[in-house]
Chains A and B, each alone.
Chain A
Amino acid sequence: MDAVTYPNRKVTDYCMERLVPLRLDHEAKPQAEEFLVKWTPRLLLLDSEGKSHQDQLGFFFPQELLPFLDLGQAKYLFNKDRLDEAIDLFDNLIKQSPASGSAPEAVFLRGVARFKRTHDPAPLKEVNRILSRDYPGSQWSSRGFPYWNL
C-alpha cells in the first residue's frame, strides 16, 4: 500500500479531507487482539466510538480503495439509520465506480435501504434484477436471489 496506493494523490486527498487516518502495528495492544488481526494489510473504518463499519483484508489499488472507502461511509450511515444519506452515497458509488468490487454490495444495500425507508418490496426486487444483469458472478447476486419473486 505504501508503494502504490497511499502515494496516489486522489487517495491522499480523500483520506486527509474525509477521514482520520490511523496506522497501528499488527501487534499493537489491545487493538490487534480486539480486531483479531492475523494478517496485513487489514483496513477498517471505525466511528468515533471505535465501532467498525467496514473491514477488509488484503491489498487495494487506488481505484478500488476509493470505492471501498465510499462504501464504508455509506454503510456507517446505513447502520445509523440515516437512510436518505446512505442511499445518496450508494448511488454515487454505483455511478462513479460501477466496475469496482464495492459496487455490487452498494447495489444490494441501496435496495435494502430503500425498502427500509418505504416498506415497498419493489426496491428489493430491483436488487435481484440489477445484480443478476450487471454483476452475475458476484456473491451479492446470490444474496439478492430471494428477492426475485417479491
Chain B
Amino acid sequence: MTDQNLKWETDMKTALQRAEQEEKLILLDFFNPG
C-alpha cells in the first residue's frame, strides 16, 4: 500500500515512456483548472 498521495505526470511523452517501460496503462484525466 502506498503512503503517498496520487502523483500525476503532466507530460504525455513521459507518460507513454513509463507506460511502455512499466507495462501499465495510462490513466489520462483531462481537467479544467478554472
List A residues at the B interface (Cβ < 8 Å): 1, 6-7, 9, 11-13, 15-26, 28, 31-32, 35, 37, 40-50, 53, 69, 72-73, 76
How far is it, in angstroms, between the C-alpha of A15 and the C-alpha of B25 when the chains are bound? 10
Verify A20–B27 contact, CB threshold 8 A.
yes
Residue tally, chain B, CB below 8 Å to A: 28
Whole-angstrom distance between the Cβ of A18 and the nearest chain B Cβ: 6
Whole-angstrom distance between the Cβ of A47 and the nearest chain B Cβ: 6
Whole-angstrom distance between the Cβ of A28 and the nearest chain B Cβ: 8
Whole-angstrom distance between the Cβ of A73 and the nearest chain B Cβ: 6
Q: Which residue from chain B places its CB closest to the CB of A40 in the assembled complex?
A: B32
By a CB distance below 8 angstroms, the chain A residues around B5 are 7, 12
Whole-angstrom distance between the Cβ of A39 and the nearest chain B Cβ: 8
